[in-house]
Chains A and B, each alone.
Chain A
């Protein structure tokens, strides 16, 4: 069994991380309540939650999260430590400071980077030592701020040097257009350069999409549409059984969705199924060229009906939903862009024939790149998420991320042309204008690669001449 370590950086990263651990424990508890048949090994989500321990009566005893919590101001982490999840985190796994990064990537990256480099390294090494077989680091952060963005990406380089064989999966929250942090474009572009170079796989998510999803859920629940009620124990929308009882904070519901994403991503590696998919397979199948490692994710179900035994028609609906814009965690239009690769991770009582039927059905409406016409990676995990009978996570490597990046670049250029707020960055030691220009050119190069692929979009698929053999 492999293990992963979650590194949560900054306010956003830690808040999402907190939701994630809450969900992970609930899933762990639910799965282990089912009496395991005697010969089966306990289905622990031991890969993300620490060794030993048990859950009795909902109280966690001695399970420790494999996590490192980093924030340059104390508020969020303190809240976590005073909350009901406090026993899950080892106090030795925390790194905090007081002053915060002031929404300044340079402060996060350079100042705190060098200040805390050794400490962070030590904590990471410690958590790696507790792992039997460490496979992956999950980094959760936002791109628009200072700590998550700057220090978070500083970590990437460190992880690459220190643990070259361990995968680095980054969940990045991209700022939406109406972001209240003025310098978020600067922070994001500077962070993008690091993501380009040091991450194995990035799952970009934007707040606007999450917000839209939550609004739709609220609408469905409140409109009382016939037969539409949210399932009582659904991990997505309900916090019943959650340990965090104070859940009316604005971002909680949104963070819950991202947490579900991470949980489903690792499900096939933790639980049994007829077609397993490990994390290293995600990178292998979905990253055809090293630079193009940005995956658009979509998750279903986000809200379900009360039927327990869902007949095939509804099952097919789940697949259709995964390819609709309503369920995407990034505002993008994959159906009208080019797919480089697509992965479908199914959980629950779904068989290979259901999967194949739906792929056949959806394929004609999607455009795949010429050299990967059947580029589907699939996995079947037998254990569904709590409160649902099945679920589907779709990860697409699609050129539709290009507009997101181009928009980001535009916002950056608007600020940069006027040199607005630049002095905050340049006064940090080691920062020069060249850092900015390099970051922009890195992003431009990435956009260019996507452009080249898009250019092949409507060309007829030609078979290349094959090797000819002299007989």
Chain B
């Protein structure tokens, strides 16, 4: 089944390009560590999901590119065409001349309705090209005006027009020390709206990915394309084909559906995060060997201690012994040391994957009490290795990972709101103080729900 990707704004388009590039490069690589037939099945599945065929055999990404000003889209289209290996559809993009000015209200209330028909038409055309349609993957940032405002608007529209299809929003959480001054306002407005209309929010934090680039990849001068490539790697390791069950012989057909089913059991809890091991520069990779036991041990501790990457993990954090309430659960004032999960999904790719032991993730102490571990935890395994890593593991988690960052953003936005700074820029385009208050209320609700796990 196919996924249609909608790339919104500068961030969405820059990342979208890296994602498609990473997916195709991996599927065409010869380091699969498996037999030819296996590799071909993998390639075919990846292609069906993300690309459509064109006459001359060059795969065309199943994507719609949206931006309110032309520079980034032009760049993205040309970079893809330059690669020679794949490209975007010629008519798959929608762009205007003047951006949204980092103004969520402008994106949501002005650009959105104005261009609703054109954008939805483009999306419809892309959906029609799919033989069987799995759902939407929407890539956007929270901090700006287009990705956030139009992203929220489009997601809402998708909910209305494609109520039976799934929507997963890939959201980029901005750096804590601003890229955009009004990013906190834009973020809370986006999150509160998406919580109503999206099925799952897959979050990547710029700060975390930046650290991965610095510490694990040893990049000296980190650029946005470095960051986007790390992100694309993580997403690729989630979305590339995997097997449906232990002994099945064909790849999963409904990636989005399966993900949602496993990870979003309750609509109040939609925030997902991704952690992967190992992650390092290519030079280091040549000299490293891995065992599944080692990788999984790290991954489990990353989950428990809320670590964003495999360096600097706090090994002192332990799950509470069963029967006793976990410390620091109730209020955020105490540091949330232990990360309680609602549901986890581990995807393993590579050599000897069948021997990997994931028992550590089935410990009931890791989870809330309202789901049996057998339902809360799932593992997908694939022999075929991903992107030059002989063994790789990725964890998609619905847990308290994001409570602290969310709480921080809400706090900062609230402080700014109290002084009424910048509010006139939003009311100019129809977003009133009540809309802000509504957003604050829904997000405080989300924070409280996650805290009380």
Contacts and interface: CB of A to CB of B under 8 A. Distances in A.
Interface of A: 1-2, 37, 39-41, 132-133, 135, 272, 274-276, 278, 280-281, 283-290, 312, 340-341, 351-354, 356, 359-360, 363, 370-378, 380, 463-464, 466-469, 471
B445 A469 contact: yes
A39 B177 contact: no
Interface residues of B, number: 57
B414 A466 contact: yes
B324 interface: no
Contacts of B424: 289-290
B98 A466 contact: no
Given A133-B98, A371-B416, A372-B416, A469 B10 contact: no
Nearest to A286: B181
B182 interface: yes
Contact of B222 (A2, A353, A378, A468): A353
Contacts of A463: 411, 415
B122 interface: no
Given A284-B101, A356-B175, 14 more contacts: A278-B101, A281-B101, A284-B145, A288-B421, A289-B424, A360-B177, A371-B419, A372-B181, A374-B178, A375-B181, A377-B178, A380-B224, A464-B415, A467-B444
B10 A275 contact: yes
B441 interface: yes
B448 to A, nearest CB: 5
Q: Is the interface of B mostly helix, strand, loop or mixed?
A: helix
Nearest to A277: B102
Contacts of B97: 1-2, 132-133
Contact of B410 (A37, A286, A356, A466): A466
Interface string B94-128: 00011101110000000000000000000000000
Nearest to B451: A471
Contacts of B448: 469, 471
Nearest to B426: A284
A369 to B, nearest CB: 8
A266 to B, nearest CB: 13
A376 B178 contact: yes
B10 A2 contact: no
A133 B95 CA distance: 13
Contacts of A290: 424
Interface string B224-236: 1101000000000
8 contacts: A280-B98, A283-B101, A284-B101, A340-B421, A371-B419, A372-B421, A463-B411, A466-B410
Contacts of A312: 221
Contacts of B440: 467
Considering the complex of A and B, which 10 residue pairs feature the smallest CB-CB distances, nearest first? A280-B101, A353-B222, A288-B421, A133-B97, A351-B223, A285-B181, A39-B78, A274-B224, A371-B419, A376-B178
Contacts of A288: 421-422
Contacts of A469: 441, 444-445, 448
Nearest to B448: A469
Interface string B56-99: 00000000000001111011001001100000000000000111
A289 B103 contact: no
B14 interface: yes
A467 B78 CA distance: 48
B71 A289 contact: no
Contacts of B425: 283-284, 287
A441 B416 CA distance: 28
